[in-house]
A and B are shown apart, each in its own frame.
Chain A
Amino acid sequence: MLKTYTYPRFEVKPAPEIASGRTLKVPVVVVGAGPVGLGMALDLQLQGLPVLVLDDDDSVSIGSRGVCYAKRALEVLDRYGIGKQVCEKGVSWNVGRTFFREQEVYNFNLVPEADHHRPGMVNLQQYYLEEYLVTKAQQTPNIELRWKNKVVSVTHGDATVTLRVETPDGIYSVETDWLIVADGARSPIRHMMGLEIEGKIFKDRFLIADVVMKADFPAERWFWFDPPFHPNQSVLLHKQADQVFRIDFQLGWDADPDEEKKPEKVIPRIKAMLGAFDGRDREFELEWVSVYTFQCRRMGSFRHGRVLFVGDAAHQVSPFGARGANSGLQDADNLGWKLKLVMAGKSPSTLLDSYSEERVFAADENLLNSTRSTDFITPKSKASKAFRNAVLGLARDHAFARALVNSGRLSVPAFLTTSSHNTPDSEPFAGRMVPGAPMDDAPVIERDPKGKTSGWLLDKVGNQFVALYFTNDPATLDAATIDALSNLSWGGIPVQPLLVSPKPGTAIGGIPTIEDMKGIVAQRYDARPGTVYLLRPDQHVAARWRRLDAAKVQAAVAKASGNA
């Protein structure tokens, strides 16, 4: 098989604790250096916390595996400092096409709206993402990565968690205040702790192949129901970086996984598929092949005392919709700032229950959507299949049926509208930016004394609480307003004020201004002069008001931080 990628081998160093016999004591350990564990480590170091990452391997993901990174995950990766790299290397796409037998019946555009920094989706082999995350983590003095370090036991005490860690050079112990488990779908630590994960196994098998070829297919997601080259089953085509294409064939439950992985079996399937485009014989080479099944399940709670579960260890969905790594990165997004507040003694440890509350809510939404997609893609009864085919048959001509075609509802962030940490609206607002909403991006200009830099709203907020104050002209703000904005912090939790204005203006009283040059921020947030938004460190809306009242903002900070 061809190789477009050389797997790095990370340096394995003997842990000093093996020779010294001492127990290593650290505040936070992350187990698992996949996209979610590494994201978690980067999030925590942005909060100023030192992190130890343990991984039982010494390389990145073998095979492309996770492929699609959605807009919200890219925005989180921007916060971690690698969003640009992922977008530049990856293949951006917004259009998906769905075919039924020979005909295209439906297409969608993920970002029908202009003026967002990141595209709807970027396709990139998982190994690249992991490599970028590792490189970033290695550049960060606060993160220590230990490869070939396998956790073999977990003892959960009242005040600490103790791990036994097996390495090529021997065994040692780590004592930590907090353990974050990012060790994947099979989660050895979940098993060691005897914790349940409940849900459904879907009785179907899928073949995935990474194929290297020079083909001028557009950067789009193509999905076939019942195509002539693979009757009665579905097929999915994605373009990745380096002219690598991901092809996913539904095989059915009775397929023999070992048999199906053999090149002599895989190659004719791909030839038949490629030939179906225009009858041309295209040259290609196989790079990676795998057969998978999947489960839709989650743990009852993602927090167990001092142990927090993130990513696939906590929840798994079908791959239709790219909700695996994308939702895992949002777990990290949600947890980092909360753990910091708890560790700094600024929030009670019950704030970590809100991590579970909010991410269980998101996981349930992902499970619901991925189960619905699976039910549509692989109908389980004659009646179910008849409805599915009726929808596909009507879809070509009728808009209502197109809306029902479900070949995967692609990952979008959950609106945490039911979170007990939101402050509900007390005045009417229009639009989507309700308390609990993940922030919509918008183009802005930030002016500093050295000149102006154009940028994006989401790059201006995050990692700390921010209060956006909308005004027509920063120069007209009265002293009382400036004073109130400068004193929004509560209980030792800082709140950074930011002015949003259509007019250029110099910062007043040290308060930075972001220029809403096209008025898009105001439009997306239904803001008028005097409107205030309180934003969480994970770029979610905590509360909003039509006029500034510092006491109300502080009460909302207390609520969002688990102090009220």
Chain B
Amino acid sequence: MALTLTPNFNEVGKTYFNAYSPGDDFYELLINTHRDLSDEQSEQVNARLILILANHIGDIATLRDALQLAREGV
């Protein structure tokens, strides 16, 4: 499974009239998840989120590409 790097957010049953809407829906969820957390708690949430999503993706080759990409340029 190749890494998807084009916009890929969507929600079943929703009609979008602007291309940015699904991405903004996700980003708002992400930021709201962190609302009122301490910096330490936020770090923990992020770590757990990565683990949960990594297991969901499952394919190690894809994850290897993603991990490498994330590390580049930091």
Contact = CB atoms under 8 A, between A and B. Distances in A.
B31 interface: yes
B4 A383 contact: no
Contact of A398 (B5, B26, B43, B45): B5
Contacts of B18: 409, 412
Interface string A419-453: 00000000000001010010000000000000000
B32 to A, nearest CB: 9
B28 A375 contact: yes
B39 A382 contact: yes
A391 B18 CA distance: 19
B37 interface: yes
A104 B26 CA distance: 24
Given A406-B27, A409-B24, A412-B18, A383 B39 contact: yes
Contact of B24 (A381, A398, A406, A415): A406
Interface in A392-410: 393, 398-400, 403-404, 406, 409
B27 A400 contact: no
A186 to B, nearest CB: 29
Contact of A383 (B15, B17, B34): B34
B58 interface: no
A349 interface: no
A217 to B, nearest CB: 25
A11 to B, nearest CB: 45
Contacts of A391: 27
Determine which residue in B7, B8, B74 has the highest number of CB atoms from chain A within 10 A of its CB, and name it. B7
Interface in A358-403: 369, 372, 375-376, 381-384, 387, 391, 393, 398-400, 403
Nearest to B73: A393
Contacts of B19: 403
Nearest to B24: A372
Contacts of A372: 24, 27-28
Interface string A335-377: 0000000000000000000000000000000000100100110
B22 to A, nearest CB: 9
Contact of A400 (B8, B30, B37, B43): B8
A15 to B, nearest CB: 47
A404 B37 contact: no
Contacts of A487: none
B46 interface: yes
Contacts of B34: 381, 383-384
A387 B31 contact: yes
B30 A387 contact: yes
A417 interface: yes
